[in-house]
Amino acid sequence: HRTYLNFMMDFVTKYEFPQRLVTFLLHLLPCKEYKESFTKVFCQHYQMIARALVSSDGPSVEQLSNRVVHVSVQLFSNKELAEKMVLEQNLLHVMVKVLHDMVRPALKEVKDQLLSYQLVVNCDNRALSHHCYWPIVSDFINILSHKTVAEMFMKNHDLIKQWMTFIQYLTGMNTTYRQVMSHIEFEPTVYFTSFSVELEAASSPLWSFISGCRVLDSSVCLKNMIVGSTEALWKWYKHIDSMVFDPFYMQPRHGEVTFHLPLHRYLAGFLSVATSHFKMPLHGIIPNHDLLRLMVEHLLQTQAAVCEIRAGRWVRNGAQIRSQVRLYEECQFCNSMVDLDIFMLQVCATFLDPDCFLNAVLERFGIQHWFQFGESAVPTPPCFDAETDITMVEGVLNLIITLLSFRQHLGMNSKEIIRKEMVAQLCMSDRTHSQLVDLISFYMMVLTSIEYFSSNFCIFLCLQLADYKAPGFECGWMQQGMYTPKG
């Protein structure tokens, strides 16, 4: 070891950040020279720390993660220090590389007779199931909060490419196949891991990038991210061998669904901020129509699967498939998932041929025969009764209405979005003030750059939209004050 500090950091990493020693090292941080030296050594040991996280025993992973973040947040929250580490220690490159190294053992090949290969993460891997990646992503988001660092990232094409490759590994994870002949024997619980991975490792950085674009007010950075997302999507779709490069073979198969399409959502998020904040015309920044046609199939497959699950066609897959639908649409996930999917479908519907788009909708929902005269070309399979067909038709009509009426990414301002969300929450049931604040998700606030979302603004909206029922006693129990929709 060249210095005693290097030795101490080796010791700390090897023995999983012992509390007393870490406290001693942190107590010295007020010394500027020491803080800079310690941060430099910490960055040099970053890959070793990541390996320690992955190799740590299950019960201690969470404790080690908290201890690592407890140290790193005090180092990387300093703007000047973070910038210096990015420039001198290539910290951004190191973080992205560490995330690649973490998920690489979890990658599995998805093969088919027509597909060459597609690499996607296996959520059963302990690095994902134990959230070993969380401290790294937390640090990554922390340094991206400094606008100069965010600018460095979004102007570095190599970094963007590496990051999009990481997101590509998460696209298509936890694909579920419909059980038809027999009920699934053991219900998997890995689905919750996949939602956590997308939310923490893909969606949270996405909102950091979007926030950075807004703060920097840089159309160059935004265009770089759009180009990076588009190139990654092409790469994801071109897993088909060049000998059979046919859009037909790139379509998802009926009877399978994944709720995880972060690459598609990255493009949707950047297109949204391009139109809402930078007032860019969509026709100048959207991908070519070939890519839109490919994207629309996967996006529609998810919407069709949601409808099929509600219709009972996936009942043999057990309760876990309904839980996935619930997570996909609930307030903590919807802003990063279904809302972006709907916006991307709106973009596709705008620029693709209307007949082509509607045919794709009907084909994905399996109800083309409802719109044909004479004998049904595609009869309802014998295992499905007529009622499920009716539910699918209703699902198509609801989707079309949603595409025509959903305005969250199409011109609504921040106040209107929050108002609409609050109305939706109040219509489901009466709410307390704290419930309303909690249910309007954090990602809603990020998306809309909420300077409006304060306690006073929430109270103002509540008074506009609801009547307040004062606290009282019922059956000997104290009841909280509730807001109920105005009549």
pLDDT at 474 over 80: no
* Mean per-residue pLDDT, 368-382: 63
pLDDT of residue 425: 80
* Distances 145 to 76, 142, 151, 152, 417 between C-alpha atoms, Å: 10, 5, 10, 12, 24
pLDDT at 449 over 60: no
pLDDT at 116 over 50: no
pLDDT at 475 over 80: no
pLDDT of residue 242: 40
* Mean per-residue pLDDT, 359-364: 93
pLDDT greater at residue 359 or residue 2:
359
pLDDT greater at residue 443 or residue 1:
1
Three-state DSSP state, 242 = helix
* Mean per-residue pLDDT, 54-82: 89
Alpha helices, DSSP H only, in 217-288? 219-237, 247-250, 262-276
pLDDT greater at residue 437 or residue 397:
397
pLDDT of residue 111: 60
pLDDT at 26 over 90: yes
Confidence tier at 446 by pLDDT (50, 70, 90) = low
Place of tokens 């509730």: 482
pLDDT at 349 over 80: yes
pLDDT at 376 over 60: no
Q: What is the pLDDT of residues 216-274, one digit of tens each?
A: 999 999 999 999 999 999 999 886 444 344 554 567 888 889 999 999 999 999 999 99
pLDDT of residue 243: 38
pLDDT at 382 over 80: no
What percent of the chain is predicted at pLDDT more than 90? 59
Confidence tier at 481 by pLDDT (50, 70, 90) = confident
For residues 121 and 103, the answer to whether their CB atoms sit within 8 Å is: yes
Q: What is the pLDDT of residues 276-328, one digit of tens each?
A: 889 999 988 998 999 999 999 999 999 999 999 999 889 989 999 999 999 99
pLDDT of residue 375: 60
pLDDT of residue 59: 64
Q: Does the model's pTM come out above 0.85?
A: yes
Q: What is the pLDDT of residues 174-210, one digit of tens each?
A: 999 988 878 888 888 899 999 999 999 999 999 999 9
pLDDT of residue 275: 92
pLDDT of residue 310: 92
* Mean per-residue pLDDT, 379-404: 79
Q: HEC states along 106-150?
A: HEEEECCCCECCEEEECCCCHHHHCCCCHHHHHHHHHHHCCHHHH
Three-state DSSP state, 176 = strand
CA dist 421 and 57 (Å) reads 42
Average pLDDT score over the chain:
86
* Distances 399 to 145, 315, 348, 361, 403 between C-alpha atoms, Å: 36, 22, 14, 9, 6
pLDDT of residue 182: 83
